Amino acid sequence: IRDDQSGYNKNLFCIPKHYEEDLERVFIPHGLILDRTERLARDIMQDMGSHHIVALCVLKGGYKFFADLLDHIKALNQNGDKSVPITVDFVRIKSYC
């Protein structure tokens, strides 16, 4: 996605009524985010090989992305030739002072 991309017209998407007035454009469609998340999972599985994966989620803002990424990793892990052990943990970081 280029920095100068102007986004997509909101009329191309199903926008909930309560967001219509607040939303001007859609910069990154949900499907593109899902596709890139799956691609990232594939890259992680390829890069890690048969090594143990330690997944660390930064709470609270990263949880949804983390859960989606882990779902893709788990699916690839179950359908692959070898099962790679995965450890999941969470860390909470305080905001800037």
Residue 1 inside a domain? The answer is no
State residue 6's pLDDT score: 84
State residue 73's pLDDT score: 93
Domain that holds residue 56: 8-92
State residue 44's pLDDT score: 93
Residue 2 inside a domain? The answer is no
Looking at residue 61, which CATH number applies to its domain? Answer: 3.40.50.2020
Residue 61 inside a domain? The answer is yes
State residue 97's pLDDT score: 63
State residue 84's pLDDT score: 86
Residue 28 inside a domain? The answer is yes
54 bridge partner residues: 87
Q: Which residues of the chain have pLDDT under 70?
A: 1, 96-97
Cα separation of 7 and 61, whole Å? 23
State residue 25's pLDDT score: 87
Counting the structural domains of the chain, the total is 1
CA proximity to 45, closest of 97, 6, 84: 84
Cα separation of 78 and 41, whole Å? 13
Percent of the chain with pLDDT over 90: 36
Residue 71 inside a domain? The answer is yes
What lies within 8 Å, CB to CB, of 71 at 6+ separation is none
